[in-house]
Structures are given as C-alpha cells and as structure tokens.
Amino acid sequence: MNSAPLPSFPVTQFLVCVAEGAASDHALRAAVALADRTGARVELLHVVEPILAPSGRFAALSGGDISKANADAVAARLRAHLALEHATLKLEGQNVADRLEVVIGAPTRVVLERAKNYDIVFLGESGRRKQLDFGGLARTLFAHCETPLWMQVDAPRKLERFLVPVDLSPKSLELLQRAIALARKVGAHVTALHCFVPPEIFANADAAAAIPSPTYTIDSLRESAKREFEAAMAAFDWRGTPHETTFAQDDPARRILAVQDNYDLILLGTHGHSALLASVLGSVAWRVLRMSHSGTLLIRTPGGYSI
C-alpha cells in the first residue's frame, strides 16, 4: 500500500534545554548523536529566572543589573562545563558550547515559545526526578508543547530499535507512520506493541458475579482484539522498514516499562493533559515518562490518540 503519503518527520533543528551541572548531559548527547546521523543543527538553551530589584544596602543596584550579572555567571559556568565534558561533541566544526544561549525569563514561557521553531526539543534530568514529578518545565512541556519532546535521563544508546505502543485508533496509526519515517532516517527496527486490557468488570469477581449470563468472556474479547491488531498490522504500510508486532494482555505502562531495556527509543502519542489530570487519569505517556530510563519521544496528536 502506497496510496497515502508517509507523514514526514523533519529533523533539521534540535533544541536542547540545558541545566547547570551534569543534569542535561545525556539529553545533549542524544541530540548530538541524532544530529550526526541526520545532519540536524543542535542549539542549546538555558533560561535564568529574573532577580527582583533588591532592597537595603544593595538598593542602588537594579534587578535588571543583578539578573544580567547572574545570567553572565551562569553562562560562563555552563560553557566551561560544556567545554570540559563535551570536547568531543562537535557539529560542523563547532564545539557545542558555541551553540549555547542563556536567556533571562520564565523558563516554561521561554521554552514553549522557542520550541515552535524546532523539530525536536530535548530535555534531561531536573534533579528532582523520581519524586511526584521531575520539574515544572517537564510538566508544562508535556501538557502544552506542540513540538515532539525527547526525554533522555540515562546515557543514550545507538538508535537501532524503536518501541511504538498503538491502540489501533487512527491517531495511533499516524504515530506509527511517523515512527516509521524517523526509523527510515536512522536505519532502526520498529516494534509495534498493542496491549489488551480486560474490561474492569472482570477484574472484580463480585461485580462479575452480579451480571447474569454474560454473552462474552475475556478470552473471546482478547482473541477478537488480537485478530483486529494482526489485521491492522498486516494492512499497514511499513515502507520496507524492518519490524515486528507484539500483542500482550497487560497494563500498557507496566508492559512498556518492563521491556524498555530491549529498545533504544520509545515513541508515545499524547494530546496533552495537565500533569495533575494525567496523574488522576493514569495517562500511560505520563507514567512512562516519569519512570522510564530509556529515551522517550512524545509526539503530540491533537484531538485523538493518547496512549
């Protein structure tokens, strides 16, 4: 099947949100590694909160003066770290330290606005990961960023195997097509994963017993779901991309996290929720994002699929 054009996945401009210290090193390395294979330009951004005008014996100084001095000091520390830790990470003959911009402003507002000009935004640790969340910036980008968001909190691996969870909705199949587009650029193998989740009623024996003579069983539902998945994957246009399909009866987030070490990148669809709503609803994307150590790429699919 080649009747419909393959959705594009542009990879020409990457933005890496860098933090002080080593927190964002893995994200930077992931961006540089992908850029080396696609020819993309990598730019680095760090946003410093403004400092209010002081009082007391420093009242003669303006908040703007102090903010500028602080931003300059942060930039110097970041460039020194980049030069020391990433001397081998060069693009087009330039050290990555030359691609750093330090901006004074509200981090979430600045990054959301800048993200519109890039194909992928890379984000790493904030220093508070594995708590209830891992930083306000990540929460805001998850909920509102229209640009694909790549989270990399551990050392990146060579991109050879992609995992793409699908629920067979049109938007999830569009996500799979975009994953194929990226896989073709880097020569990666793609695994499409579909998780069958039994209706909640069957997880509660008392509730199940309250329903007289059910006309279907979990087994029949599972087999029907499996046949539908296999038919959809057989009809899907893989464009010659090496691939496999996996069907499992499991909670999607639990299965993704259980098999993540077998893959170099997990691609997830999301149409955006607030972090609070995601935590209440159990968004698979948010749960995976918080707990995974493999590279995770979130792709916004407005109005539809949100695995």
In a domain, 186, yes or no: yes
Do the beta carbons of residue 100 and residue 46 sit within 8 Å? Answer: yes
In this structure, the answer to whether residues 165 and 141 fall within a common structural domain is no
Average pLDDT over residues 232-256: 96
Token readout for 41 is 């330009």
Distance CA 48, CA 102 (A): 7
Do the beta carbons of residue 291 and residue 262 sit within 8 Å? Answer: no
List all residues 6 or more positions away from 179 whose beta carbon is below 8 Å from its beta carbon: 162, 164, 190, 267
User: Which ranges constitute the DSSP H helices of the chain?
Assistant: 25-38, 63-85, 107-115, 136-144, 170-186, 205-209, 218-235, 252-259, 275-281, 284-291
| Domain boundary residue, one of 151, 170, 195 | 151
Q: Which domain holds residue 18?
A: 13-151
Question: Domain tally for the chain?
Answer: 2
In a domain, 118, yes or no: yes
Average pLDDT over residues 229-242: 97
In this structure, the answer to whether residues 250 and 221 fall within a common structural domain is yes
CATH code at 187? 3.40.50.620
Distance CA 29, CA 33 (A): 6
In this structure, the answer to whether residues 43 and 147 fall within a common structural domain is yes
In this structure, the answer to whether residues 176 and 113 fall within a common structural domain is no
In a domain, 224, yes or no: yes
DSSP 112-130: HHHHTT-SEEEE---S-TT
Give the SS3 label for residue 215. coil
277 pLDDT higher than 80? no
In this structure, the answer to whether residues 129 and 212 fall within a common structural domain is no
Least confident of 65-79, 186-200, 231-245, 260-274: 260-274
Residue that the structure tokens 């650029």 belong to = 185
DSSP annotation of 250 reads S
In a domain, 3, yes or no: no
Does pTM top 0.75 for this prediction? yes
295-300 vs 149-151, strand pairing mode: antiparallel
The predicted-structure confidence for 8-52, as pLDDT tens digits, reads as follows: 789 999 999 998 888 899 999 999 999 999 999 999 999 998 887
